[in-house]
Amino acid sequence: MLGQKEYSLPVDIWSIGCIFAEMAQKKALFAGDSEIDEIFKIFQLLGTPNESTWQGVTKLKDFKSTFPQWKPQSIAKKVPRLDPEGLDLLTKMIQIEPSRRISARAALLHPYFDSLDKSQFSNPFANIPYM
């Protein structure tokens, strides 16, 4: 996002969060018709990032100081079909600053999944044959 060069696991967590919301709502969380429209839809929900919400954002290649300034909105209003635990998990997945996103392991152990048998989570690759 915004020309960030580094690709790491938080990018995947963001994607999983967007898919999670889309499964709950049966529509895309940030349905933009262009890259800038999608960025603005993200900012309209999560707030326009600044140095206090995303350290270093103003130094990113595609950050513009002229971006409209939106304040964060309620994710519950955007994704009303999720229960409080689901909203908490989604919120942790789509933090605007990548370093603040929940880890994959913590997401699997999140209370949203308490009804699942988590004993299989210790090694998710245990039943996958080595090639």
Give the pTM.
0.83
- The predicted-structure confidence for 64-100, as pLDDT tens digits, reads as follows 989 999 999 999 999 999 999 999 999 999 999 999 9
Mean pLDDT value of segment 15-36 = 94
For 67, counting Cβ atoms within 10 Å of its Cβ (0-12 exposed, 13-18 middle, 19+ buried), the class is: middle
Question: How much is the pLDDT for 114?
Answer: 86
Average the pLDDT over 57-64 and give the result.
87
* pLDDT on residue 108: 86
pLDDT at 119 over 90: no
Q: Is the pLDDT of residue 131 over 50?
A: no
The residue-averaged pLDDT of 117-122 equals 64
Cα–Cα distance measured from residue 58 to residue 51, given in angstroms and rounded to the nearest whole number: 7
In terms of CATH architecture, what is 9-114? Answer: Orthogonal Bundle (1.10)
Query: What's the rounded mean pLDDT across residues 52-62?
Result: 88
Q: How far is CA 2 from CA 56, 64, 92, 95, 129, in A?
A: 11, 9, 20, 15, 39
Domain boundaries, the chain: 9-114
Q: Give residue 118's pLDDT.
A: 61
Q: Which residue has the higher pLDDT, 119 or 115?
A: 115
101: helix, strand or coil: coil
Percent of the chain with pLDDT over 90: 62
Task: Tell me the pLDDT tens digit for each residue of 4-25.
Answer: 767 778 889 999 999 999 999 9
